[in-house]
Amino acid sequence: MKFIKTIGLLLFLVGFGIFNATFFLASYQLSEDIINQQIPDDTKNALFKARASGLLEEPVSSNFTFVNRITTVFEEINREALENYAINESEIDQIIAGAQSDNGYNFQIKELSKIYSEDDPILQFKLKAFSDYGSWLDGRTFSDEGDFRSNLQNVADNIKTYGIINQKGFDKYTIKNLQYSLTKAASNGPVSDNPANFLWLTYILCIVGAMMYILPKIKDGPPGIKNNRIFHSAMKNVGWLGILTGTYLILFYIFLYFYPEYMTSWIIMVDPVSMFLKGSEAGRFFLYGFIYTLCILVMGVRMLIKYRHSRYQMVRTASVMFFQTAFAFLIPEILLRLNQPYFDFKNIWPLDYDFFFDNELSTLVNNGGLGVFMLVWGIALVLVAVPVFVYFFGKRWYCSWVCGCGGLAETLGDPYRQLSNKSLKAWRVERVLIHSVLGFAVLMTIGVLYTYFTGAGSLLGVSTYKVREVYGAWIGAGFAGVVGTGFYPFMGNRVWCRFGCPLAAYLGFVQRFKSRFRITTNGGQCISCGNCSTYCEMGIDVRWYAQRGQNIVRSSCVGCGVCSSVCPRGVLNLENKDEKGRFGDPILIGNDSFKVQS
């Protein structure tokens, strides 16, 4: 068995090594055809070609160099556009002088034609831009020159930020998308030539190697949890291997969310799978979904073997494997192939924080009956399913049986569950953070719904677009992705679920105050071994409750049942009963076997 595990580990390392090597196995050659495909606007196309002539002459060997040169082209175009079309200080002085009167400064839009009267495209652009972005000043009188100048400068800044860059240059979102699409289209090399071969060389080797390493554990002693020196492990106790793993995960998420243009070889590699499922090339989130699903499936097998003494754990693990594969990955991609909206039927607001964004709502409403059904389904999950199911089953019905974030934490993150901080200080930080994120999500959603129904881009002077941008970058990508998964080897497997997930906070409110679910304890049988607290991924000191025979009703508890599964005395029991029902018949308890090896 040891020989098979060693071969499996070697195969995995070879496949993983090839995967990482492909990050650098490409050169990049831009062509006019690629530019024509990716930049259809004739004016901007011509601007880009004129300044990217050097990139059309010779291949670039590094993706970092290629992206940097593309970025320089965009910056030069925008800089020149601002120099030509921005309203400068001298023009503001002229506007102030023209508006001066005995009563102060009376601004009239029509008077701008005296300044921008020439038949010059640049001057005419400035006149129209001021009319578009400064119409709110028309007819206003200012007694103070400084106040008037400040308002004019505000209009000029908005024209720079939105009007000029959008119309005469490239805004930051367009630049980001083009950096990725141009880099992917310009990629040349072994991966681009043979994506299917590299798919086999990397993913299949990793999967086969992982299975060869995991499956022999079935014969590795009797069923049960092994307390086999986990706090002396370089991987499982923030040792050098754990730090290396965590660093890699953090870097992967940073590239995925913020710099996908550097991952084009990895994305090209899964193009064959994407073409098979949805009939189009892969994007960065298809790559992510593919890897995410494979991790849950492979590490799910490990969970089934590790917890094979517990029927509850095996059914729960099979559930998250199924929901991730079918509902989170396959069904949404197949919907795209059928020209229907991308939709994850198990995702719930506010975890699915963009569900109520105006573009998402418009997409669903404009896609006929199925789109309307998806909209109603999503709203029903929030308003009906959450309170009803949490009342009967606790938040575990979602967090431990359905959720993809929870599924990854329970499978890929299982080796790190003992790293969750059980201190009172951590609990206080947890309460502040998770409820702050929930509040942020609620306020953001109010803002975006206001924009959807009124068309106004701001509420109480705050840009709803800016708020959603901040939430998406810092919470959706930074917290949930970079920290939430990257910190598994440092802070345990439920960092996001415990400290950040707004849906977990919403579910927790219901569970804490109106739910039949609880973990009951039999204090007389507790031997204070500490297994329950050690393995609690949500930072609950379970032993403290067990020693006192107190039922555990905590808003943070996700009902994973591992505390019960590792208890050698059967002290803990997962029940859906009223508070008085300690000795009633439980459903699907977590401790159907009490085998623990030391």
Look at residue 246 and tell me if it is in a domain: no
Of the three residues 188, 207, 242, the one that is the final residue of a domain is 188
Look at residue 438 and tell me if it is in a domain: no
Tell me which amino acid residue 447 is. Answer: G
Look at residue 69 and tell me if it is in a domain: yes
Look at residue 308 and tell me if it is in a domain: no
Look at residue 272 and tell me if it is in a domain: no
pLDDT for 9 equals 94
The Cβ-side half-sphere exposure at 162, using a 13 Å CA radius, reads 12
Please give the residue range of the domain that contains residue 121.
32-188
Of the three residues 156, 188, 220, the one that is the final residue of a domain is 188
Cβ(255)–Cβ(480) under 8 Å?
no
Going by the DSSP 8-state scheme, the letter that residue 476 receives in this structure is: I
- pTM for the full predicted model: 0.88
Look at residue 206 and tell me if it is in a domain: no
pLDDT for 590 equals 46
Q: Phi and psi at residue 401, in whole multiples of 5°? A: -120, -25
Residues 6+ apart with CB under 8 A from 89: none
Q: Give the CATH number of the domain where residue 539 resides.
A: 3.30.70
Taking 3-state DSSP, the helix, strand and coil percentages for the chain, each rounded to the nearest 5, stand at: 65, 5, 30
Look at residue 553 and tell me if it is in a domain: yes
pLDDT for 133 equals 86
Look at residue 580 and tell me if it is in a domain: yes
Please name every residue paired with 187 in a beta bridge, in sequence order, or none if there are none. 28
Q: How far apart are CA 395 and CA 560, in angstroms?
A: 10
Domain count, the chain: 2
Nearest one of 206, 167, 556 to 396, comparing CA atoms: 556
pLDDT one digit per residue (tens) for the chain, 598 residues = 788 999 999 999 999 999 999 999 999 999 999 999 999 999 899 999 999 888 887 889 899 999 999 999 999 999 999 988 888 888 888 888 888 887 888 888 888 887 877 778 888 888 888 888 888 888 888 888 889 898 888 888 888 888 888 888 898 889 999 999 999 999 999 999 999 999 999 999 999 999 999 998 888 766 766 666 788 899 999 999 999 999 999 999 999 999 999 999 999 999 999 999 999 999 999 999 999 999 999 999 999 999 988 899 999 999 999 999 999 999 999 999 999 999 999 999 999 999 999 889 999 999 889 999 999 999 999 999 999 999 999 999 999 999 999 999 999 999 999 999 999 999 999 999 999 999 999 999 999 999 889 887 788 888 888 899 999 999 999 999 999 999 999 999 999 999 999 999 999 999 988 899 989 998 788 999 899 999 999 999 999 999 998 888 889 999 999 999 899 888 999 887 655 443 344 444 444 444 444 3
pLDDT for 430 equals 95
The helix/strand/coil state of 459 is strand
Residues in the chain: 598
pLDDT for 589 equals 42
Of the three residues 173, 188, 203, the one that is the final residue of a domain is 188
- The single residue listed with the structure tokens 């097998």 is 301
Q: How far apart are CA 36 and CA 57, in angstroms?
A: 17
Q: What is the Cα 104 distance to its own chain's centre? A: 52
pLDDT for 586 equals 40
Residues 6+ apart with CB under 8 A from 9: 209, 213
